[in-house]
Chain A
């Protein structure tokens, strides 16, 4: 991303995602009011009409997800935003988007759960739901920014990934980040990359809407362009029509995952800070990463060799980079605002004996002090 020209703005995290969406070329937004993400919809409702886009508040969360998929099939870049309970309702259509390979961006501003939970309190409780919320094996990309500026960047990137890989992309942050106001630099239009969807080409009669076009991603048919295709949530073969042929089912399902792994260099993003020689590495994401940075400074002042591994791409987790970057003998601490959802993934990669979970699920953000205490505790044992 070239930032040759910039403008400085103090904006809220939720608004930041809306501005990024417009800049990415999003021209259709459907949503439903829910705390703490409603500001995304509010901002989109005022921005979209000026760029010849359409904003619509639908009758429910499911419908708003359905509407953006319909608009995406019509050729638009699309987005919706929600929070826990709404994210649960949207899962049906997130699955449809994953299976039928419809580009879309979903902002999930996490709040306390389960169920209605704590609408105005922050949480990171949707980490696993973002990955496995809808039924069946399916690919999904989840990005977890940790600042208002990064919300802008990652939302922009979410659109590019969605369009390029034909996959639903979730931008996951929490209530604190959503309502946080920070000064950010917004790049002038045309100074950043906007990826466009690859549209169907070649003879119409031979076109197969789910045939791998080279990088694992099929070309998409624009309605009205002569390619009349069938889109279905049923498991479908390359020609787009339902199939239950085991060989085909395995092949097409495998491709759904391969298109992400084959293009993982585009997808992966993380931050590793002094991980190679650290005695303890903190794996943190979102708002928790910001508390971690302060804790790290304090720990280093105490002479503890502490590092930070911050996955920005939460799913699929940048596993290879983690193994490369992190000292294999280091203890690992995973502070997160849930009962240890990501830490199970880290245990899987690093081994249970190395990983300590620092969960907090009382509706309060984890404080630097809390993390620092845990770092001290772990290193003392070590």
Chain B
């Protein structure tokens, strides 16, 4: 498989089905794109099976869709290592599904957009490492033979609708399948909300041109930087004379680093665990705790 900027079309006439895996997070349009691809294949006389897992659509949860088409398709699911195309609308989702990509000839198309879920913050300490995968665009392009990493969200944003990022990626994907641009435009027009047909068609063309012009990778956009705040040292000061031992701070501390001493006065028992969240300070009715964060 040569790669000269343009994706070599997958062999759709093969007896074995062609496997396209579309992944992303809720709200990005994974299903919409899948439906467009499936419909186009069906209209061209191919047997299509498409199956999806969604339901977290409104909460940023993971969504994926298997699309298999060819002369004859039996199983609806793509086995590991057999996806011909992996289309990822979110960076970490793409990396997560990499084992499904055919290691030799699989084509990886991903948006470099990173959507960081709250639960990737595993440690409340400032400066603690994020749970979000830290693979760079460069590392990925070197690891995966047919990788196309584009900042589709920025492209779509420039067109005036960030939500059209999925059609930008579809444009990139279209170069790997043997359908004409007119056919693609038709299914897009049927799939997207009527008001956004224009911008989606434009987005599609942008994505298609990006691959055709020989681009393979753009880095994460500057406004999509995962910045870790400087670690901070917090110092907790207790004014013992003001403490009345009500126990509120002890029970409210998420890290359990306070306790009452034998005189029912609060004391810090584990300085290292204190994250400087200030809950104890804010909820102390006697203003006996002050958290100084440096």
Direct contact of A and B (CB under 8 A): no
Q: Interface on A for B, CB 8 Å cutoff?
A: none
Q: Interface on B for A, CB 8 Å cutoff?
A: none
